[in-house]
Structure 1
Amino acid sequence: MSTDLADPATGAPPPDHHTADHHAHAHHQHGPALTLADRHAHEAETYDAMAAGLLADWSDEAYRIDPAVIPFANREHVDYLTAAIDEIRPLAGKRILEVGAGSGSLAVWLALQGAEVVGIDVSGGILEVARRRAEVSGVADRVTFVHSPIESFDPAAAGLAIEQFDAIIGNNVVHHFDRDLAMAALGRMLAPGAVAVFCEPVLFVPDWLRRLRNSAPVTRRFPPHTHSPDERSLDKGDLALMQRWFRLVQWRPFQLLSRLQNFTELSDPVWHRLESIDRWVLRTVPSTRNVCRMVVVTLGLPREVPTR
């Protein structure tokens, strides 16, 4: 689910769970009693409720997307979402799937660049916001929203003429997926030569440190900024799983010292200074990649049969 919702009066985004350190679960699962359907229901409940408020409160202007500006949720998205979009350029004329389209900001912006866009999400309510956004922005004929999780999404069953896409993109969504089911679906839907690009939070640390981060004493003082209980940052095991399904798996690191934002609100000057330092350090000291906060993952060349 993409966080692309902002207060139309102030322009301020809601609490952004996508740039926080997320809940960790043993063996990379979301809890032994929690099924995939449960996880989808949790997400849908959260965003359906959010959508009801937006549909009641927003004016047409709040829905409108400026084609000249990438719709960043906040300052933390600027670097990595720009890099992700650069991975799939040129945009005009492309068939693009956005996974976790949320309220449609990115999908509509891509359509305004001349792409033919399909956006999917587990929340039917938030997609009503997205459809309204497409109408107000004048691209309802270029973007289609489908209520479906990626794990079971079938373009043909949804009545779409598109079966494969020239690009797939998602902003802070992979950490919600059933990884194997999602990777299989992505591989089926990528056109030859196409790539899937995802912006994701990461935490490349030992399990004991993850457990410490998510322990009761720590979370009482520094609570994770999550919208649902089923979220966690990706780790190296997730990247290894992706390599089972794709021959091309590349990741580019973002944010380092700026991880302080997880624990205290940084002023804009401090944030931009730290982010500038982060760019230099990540570029010149390769080992620091392993303590970055965000990555842009590029997937391509799907395998017909996953490796073991």
Structure 2
Amino acid sequence: MSGTDQAHRGDAHGHTISDHGRRIDGHGLMIEDRHDHEAETYDAMARELLATWTDDDYRVDPARIPFPNREHVDYLTAAVDQLRPLAGKRILEVGAGGGSLAVWLAQQGAEVVGIDVSAGILEVARKRAKVNDVAGSTTFVHCPVERFDPRAAGLDHDRYDAIIGNNVVHHFDRHAAMASLCRLLAPGAVAVFCEPVLFAPEWVRSVRNSRLVTRRFPPHTHTPDERSLGEEDFAIMRRWFRHVQWQPFQLLARLQNFVELSDRTWNALESMDRTILRCVPFSRRACRMVVVTLALPREEIR
């Protein structure tokens, strides 16, 4: 047995577990290391925001979903629509970041818990909740979804009427996160995530992520460990949930990955995409983004 074989062993879901008990994902990274990478990035971002923003920068318009940019408008709207009605619901936002969506959901009458691996960015979220007068209906917890336990965090509940996340699943330890989502969903509830996808063979991913290509066309990522979802990720979801559905967005608009598009060009391409994705079924697998809906956890592994 080689030194590597001696140092690591597998778990029931095909992850590797080191002799120190730390989980390793399918790409050779310690899960904790991935969390640390992400936290460093967003902690640094938070320090800048907290030092430079005024109260006006934290304000959220309750009449409009707080889209980070134009690219989110279609798919984030579709994701939020799956959670309606919002008033009176207890909602968990995974990867809450600076709290824009959590605050907006609270403004609609929801009770919101936001979790994130970055303690710094959650300070931004708390300031945003205070400025928008929803601090009483929002709670922010520094914890990755893989380990999140509401009771252990001092909350008075175990489950949620809805779960939402925007561009976060591709950061997860997939199996550990799916197990946690199963525990956190109340009966009849859904978890909805907006995610980048690449339904392509591994060699295509390798070419896209090669130094030669990324030097000319840098990936639109914040941290080095991000990876678009593929077939294997949906297979994992189906192992944990009986209902796994995805809605495609952005086809021709994928050009944004390679060149900055004007608003006029973007809007024209996105309008064409809506028609193509609706009328040409096989085009769905070439989309750039999806809204994933998870429901009905498998009781035998819950």
Task: Give the gaps of 5 or more residues in structure 1.
Answer: 1-27
Tell me by how many angstroms 1:160 deviates: 0.4
Q: TM-score, normalised by structure 2?
A: 0.91
Matches within 5 A, 1:1-308: 29=25, 31-32=27-28, 34-306=29-301
Q: What is the distance in 1 between the residues matched to 2:301 and 2:136? A: 37
Structure 2 distance, partners of 1:167, 1:239, is 20
Distance (whole Å) between structure 1 residues aligned to residue 300 and residue 230 of structure 2 = 23
Q: TM (normalized to structure 1)?
A: 0.89
Q: CA deviation at 1:162?
A: 1.9
Residue 90 of structure 1 aligns to a residue whose secondary structure is coil
> For 1:305, what is the secondary structure of its paired residue?
helix
Q: In the aligned structure 2, how far is the partner of 1:292 from the partner of 1:65?
A: 30
Whether the 8 Å contact between 2:197 and 2:289 is mirrored in structure 1 is yes
Deviations 1:244-301 (A, max 9, x none): 0000000000000000011111111110000000000000000000000000000000
Measure the CA separation in 1 of the matches of 2:148 and 2:38.
Answer: 16
For 1:76 and 1:301, locate their aligned partners in 2 and report how far apart those are by CA, in whole Å: 30
Letter in 1 for 2:27: G
For 1:305 and 1:42, the matched residues in 2 are separated by 34
**SS of residue matched to 1:141:** helix
Alpha carbons 2:25, 2:31 under 8 Å: kept: no
Give the root-mean-square deviation of aligned CA atoms.
Answer: 1.2
Aligned length: 279
CA–CA distance in 2 between the matches of 1:29 and 1:223?
24
CA contact (8 A) 1:30 1:230 kept: no
Judge conservation of contact 2:196–2:229 (CA < 8 Å) in 1. Answer: yes
CA–CA distance in structure 1, aligned partners of residues 294 and 161 of structure 2: 13
3-state DSSP class of the match of 2:270?
A: helix
Task: Report the Cα distance in structure 2 between the residues aligned to 1:30 and 1:53, rounded to whole angstroms.
Answer: 33
* Displacement after TM superposition at 1:228 (Å): 1.1
SS in 2 for 1:88: coil
Q: Distance in 2 between matches of 1:105 and 1:42?
A: 22
Cα displacement (A) at 1:243 = 0.4
Which position in structure 2 is the counterpart of 1:15?
A: none
Equivalent residue of 2:63, what SS? Answer: coil
Q: Distance in 2 between matches of 1:41 and 1:215?
A: 24
Q: Distance in 1 between matches of 2:55 and 2:157?
A: 30
Deviation of 1:306 (Å): 4.2
CA-CA distance at 1:304 after TM superposition: 2.3
